[in-house]
Chain A
Amino acid sequence: MRNLLNFLAKYNNLIIFLILEGISFYLLTTGNTYQNTQVVKGVRSLTRGIDERISNARNYFHLRDINQILAFENATLKNNISLLKNKENLVFFSVSDTSYRQQYQFTSAEVINNSVTRQKNFFTLNKGRKQGVAVDMAVTSDAGVAGVIVGCSPNYSIAMSLLNLDFKVSARLKSNGFFGSLGWDGKEYKYAVLSEIPQHVTFGIGDTVETTGYSAIFPEGVMIGTVSDFEKSGGDFYMIKVLLKTDFKKLRFVSVIGNMKKKEQLKLEKQFK
């Protein structure tokens, strides 16, 4: 105690100096917009570098799993290709015909920061504006829907996770085509809630829930999950608990999907609103 007092007495000037400078710097960084953004930028770039490094190290340990998933995905894609080839042979169309233009663009990206514990979860991808990623693009994992891009910097982008109270996507039951709105209720990271399905519809536990193409963000028919439980809620609708196919706790490689015809669709729809 006496040593402490001696210490304080000896360095009281330095301590006062540091306290006053601390106050000044606090004012400086919070009161001035420019300095504030500089500091935030600096801290961000620091944590981003670390995030990326941690993610790199982790990836190394997950290589086996990742390889398996990739091999599996490759196989399904190959199947699709052969299927499509067969279909193509059935009809003739000119390659230069713009109505056969590709509608969706895919690019792969890696998740370098992720959370599932908050009420509003976001994850960071290692691709940004320079790599063609733009706001409002869809993000899917190899299993299904993952999120929507909400912000881009030149080399990174932030996606709003499906596990975010603000996330809403138009979804339907694959078995009968009835559609409703799917969102997260903020409780468990494995389940989401599909609402607005009328009560006269029949379906069973285990039925597939997939996206509709209505929102112009997600392509039609992307897997979301399976029905795990349902109950009648209020009016005439079901509240359906959906077991998500995507495991957000080990989200690593995702596809970013851009809709090339989105502008056209939205523009047309706007005329009738």
Chain B
Amino acid sequence: MINRILRFSLIFFLLILLQVLVFNNIRFSGYVNPYIYVMFILLLPVEIPSWLLLLISFATGAVMDIFCGSPGIHASATVLAGFVRPYALRVISPRDGYEPGADPSMFVYGLRWFLIYTSVIILIHHTALFYLEVFRLADFFRTLLRVFMSSVFSITFILLLEYIRKGK
């Protein structure tokens, strides 16, 4: 248990550092800013209680907000992602259910499952994030394009990170 908490804390700090130091500085053509820190919410154990998941999501978003200087924007997007996660997991559950104590990982449930899972959460998170950042419906389609472009990049990077994580 303690071991697990330590492991997730480590992942948390690594992801936040990676996001703040590297990915926050990536801006392809003004449209694409990948947000890979959401991966932390994706990686939490399947059977984590929902209230804890929501609180952790909020904390993650709040930490990002502190680094980005944008109070509330990341927090509301991550809380939404954390709220949706249990439903998403239920909808795309594998045929024989989740193994007790397993992490939702690509190497347990396969690439296809992990891709769908990541895409759903990332799309929801990015949609909330970008629209809250713009905060008006005037540039609706431009923002939508930003959401999709950034999501594609975020998903790609998260898959790569997942490979690296298990490769070690």
Contacts and interface: CB of A to CB of B under 8 A. Distances in A.
Interface of A: 12-13, 16-17, 20-21, 23-32, 34-35, 38
Given A17-B83, A21-B79, A27 B71 contact: yes
Interface of B: 50-51, 54-55, 57-58, 61, 65, 70-73, 75-76, 79-80, 82-83, 86, 132, 135-136
23 contacts: A12-B51, A13-B54, A13-B86, A16-B54, A17-B82, A17-B83, A20-B54, A20-B55, A21-B76, A21-B80, A23-B58, A23-B75, A24-B79, A25-B72, A25-B76, A28-B71, A31-B71, A31-B72, A32-B70, A32-B71, A32-B73, A34-B135, A35-B135
B68 to A, nearest CB: 11
A32 B70 CA distance: 7
Contacts of B82: 17
Contact of B135 (A13, A17, A24, A38): A38
A35 B57 CA distance: 22
A35 B134 CA distance: 8
Given A13-B83, A17-B83, A28 B72 contact: yes
Contact of B72 (A12, A27, A38): A27
Contact of B73 (A16, A17, A28): A28
Given A12-B51, A13-B51, A16-B51, A24 B70 contact: no
A20 B71 contact: no
Contacts of A29: 72
B1 to A, nearest CB: 23
Contacts of B72: 23-29, 31-32
The 8 closest A-B pairs by CB, nearest first: A28-B72, A31-B71, A27-B72, A24-B76, A24-B75, A27-B71, A13-B50, A17-B83
A34 B65 CA distance: 16
A23 B61 CA distance: 12
A206 B58 CA distance: 68
A158 to B, nearest CB: 25
Nearest to A14: B83
Query: Which of B72, B132, B136 has the most CB atoms of chain A within a 10 A radius of its CB?
Result: B72
